[in-house]
């Protein structure tokens, strides 16, 4: 049987076949049609973090609710990443903002509901302090033994506001502007000593409320001049 002779044509065709087989993978990759590789063509885990180009994943490409709290690294979201007004009162958990989370001078007087504040301990003394009010009482008068008021030495009380009681030495004093809650009375010196003055707030049998009753005594009820100061 005659052997086929090796010719230039045989060698050339063989080399062409080998070259075609060797470059077929590269040709096939470069010849893929646009958009022909989809999710079904990708193996599980084929796209890793290292394979994703920097800034390739933008906000529009993230599915709603895809980024959950457990997926956010500690300290990843700082103040510069928050849009203005993004964190509203409804977004804050109960008890999330504690005293230590408040900046110095962050809460001003305008932000405080005064009715929610209790009385500070030192302010309790102000409820019973009378020194400041004593210097300028709401009403005061210099009253004669006949019940007449000296207008030059009085404020808020006139002779019309002073009535003598059913017994000598008793004076009923009322002011239309307010119902007195405190009073002080002092006898006026009229040439004789030993006169004592008493005052009663809230009304008595002689002076119905809201009048203030003044009684002058010198061994018994007696007409005598006095000074009186009334407080709100």
Strands 139-143 and 196-201: unpaired
Residue 214: the pLDDT is 96
| Residue 180: exposure state from Cβ atoms within 10 A (0-12, 13-18, ≥19) | buried
Q: Do the domain assignments include residue 179? A: yes
Q: Which domain holds residue 143?
A: 134-231
- In angstroms, rounded to a whole number, what is the distance separating the alpha carbons of residues 209 and 106? 50
Number of domains in the chain: 1
| pTM for the whole structure | 0.44
Residue 116: the pLDDT is 76
Q: Do the domain assignments include residue 84? A: no
Q: Do the domain assignments include residue 161? A: yes
Q: Do the domain assignments include residue 227? A: yes
Q: Do the domain assignments include residue 168? A: yes
Q: Do the domain assignments include residue 20? A: no
Q: Do the domain assignments include residue 119? A: no
Digit-coded pLDDT (tens) for 29-51: 566 777 777 777 778 888 888 88
- In angstroms, rounded to a whole number, what is the distance separating the alpha carbons of residues 201 and 70? 71
Which of 39-43, 142-146, 147-151, 225-229 is least confident?
39-43
Three-class DSSP category at 61: helix
Q: Do the domain assignments include residue 216? A: yes
């Amino acid at each position: 049987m005659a052997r086929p002779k090796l010719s230039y044509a045989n060698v050339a065709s063989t080399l062409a076949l080998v070259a075609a087989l060797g470059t077929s993978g590269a040709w096939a990759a470069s010849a893929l049609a646009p958009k022909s590789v989809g999710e079904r063509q990708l193996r599980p885990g084929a796209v890793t973090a290292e394979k994703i180009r920097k800034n390739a994943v933008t906000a529009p490409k993230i599915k709603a609710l895809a980024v959950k709290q457990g997926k956010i690294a500690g300290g990843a979201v700082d103040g510069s990443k928050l849009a203005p007004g993004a964190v509203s009162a409804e977004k804050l958990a109960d008890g999330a903002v504690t005293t230590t989370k408040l900046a110095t001078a962050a809460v001003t007087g305008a932000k405080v509901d005064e009715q929610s504040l209790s009385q500070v301990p030192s302010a309790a003394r102000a409820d019973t302090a009378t020194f400041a009010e004593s210097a300028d009482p709401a009403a005061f008068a210099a009253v004669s033994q006949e019940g007449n008021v000296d207008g030059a030495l009085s404020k808020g009380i006139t002779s019309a506001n002073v009535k003598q009681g059913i017994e000598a030495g008793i004076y009923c004093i009322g002011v239309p502007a307010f119902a007195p809650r405190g009073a002080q009375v002092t006898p006026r010196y009229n040439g004789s000593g030993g006169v004592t003055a008493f005052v009663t707030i809230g009304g008595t049998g002689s002076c119905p409320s809201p009048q203030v009753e003044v009684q002058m005594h010198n061994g018994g009820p007696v007409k005598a001049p006095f000074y009186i100061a009334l407080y709100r």
